[in-house]
Amino acid sequence: MTDEKINVKVFFPFGPAIAKTKIPNEILIKLNEYFEKTIHDKQKIKEFDHGKYLAGDVSKEIRIHHQYSEECGWLDFLANLTKIYIKVSAQKEITKFSLVSSWIVSQFKHEYNPTHWHGGHISGAGFLKIPDTMGSGYQNKNHHNDNGNLQLIHGSRQFLSNSLFTIQPQVGDFYLFPNYLMHTVFPFRETNQERRSVSFNAIIDDNIHNVYGA
């Protein structure tokens, strides 16, 4: 892993630290190209179908081949980002970054991801493509509308303690969080356009992750 310049914001909206950054444009383009090529290849879409391992009620969820993650720079970006995330939030240096899996979710109207969590130690989610509109809510225009939003969930609502952190998708935005952090993606409507996101799970040093170890 190298210390490449990555602009990262680490913040604490409730309990665990969350990191926010931007996917480099050249990597974003390559991830979108990979997805487009895969879904138009009947053999590849069958081989890389990742939906059976995921919680979502979504028609297209495609695993990113590990070799391609290396070739397009995605693997190095995730490793460097995670290194910064842990250093800033835990004041520790990781020496291990093992990508368990990474995948792209292609979501259309009425599809959704229920509340769930990931495996590994570190997880993340970002946005590759966003509809022009996620559709209006059923209530008046001033009513809160979470259509298509990603929501992170921790603990329970208490006085001076938030339990929800809601993220409105923006192309290129990418968030890191610990694997156990529950999250959900709301459905959207009134459009035939696609909401496309990318996620990953990874393992880091056990002595850093395991805070209960000897």
List domains and CATH numbers for the chain.
Answer: 9-131+148-207 (2.60.120.620)
85 neighbors 17 (Cβ within 8 angstroms): yes
pTM equals 0.92
110: region left, alpha or beta (phi > 0 left; psi from -120 to 50 alpha): left
Distance (Å, rounded) from C-alpha 209 to C-alpha 178? Answer: 9
- For 48-71, the DSSP string reads SB-GGGS--B-SEEEEPPHHHHHH
| pLDDT score, position 142 | 62
204 neighbors 86 (Cβ within 8 angstroms): yes
Distance (Å, rounded) from C-alpha 145 to C-alpha 143? Answer: 6
Condensed to tens digits (0 to 9), the pLDDT of residues 170-192 reads 999 999 999 999 999 999 998 99
Nearest residue to 181 (alpha-carbon basis) of 20, 17, 62, 56: 17
Condensed to tens digits (0 to 9), the pLDDT of residues 105-150 reads 999 999 999 999 999 999 999 999 999 999 887 776 666 789 999 9
Residue 61 has pLDDT above 80, yes or no: yes
Query: DSSP strand E in 29-121: where?
Result: 60-63, 97-107, 113-116
Cα atoms in the 13 Å half-sphere on the side-chain side of 120:
22
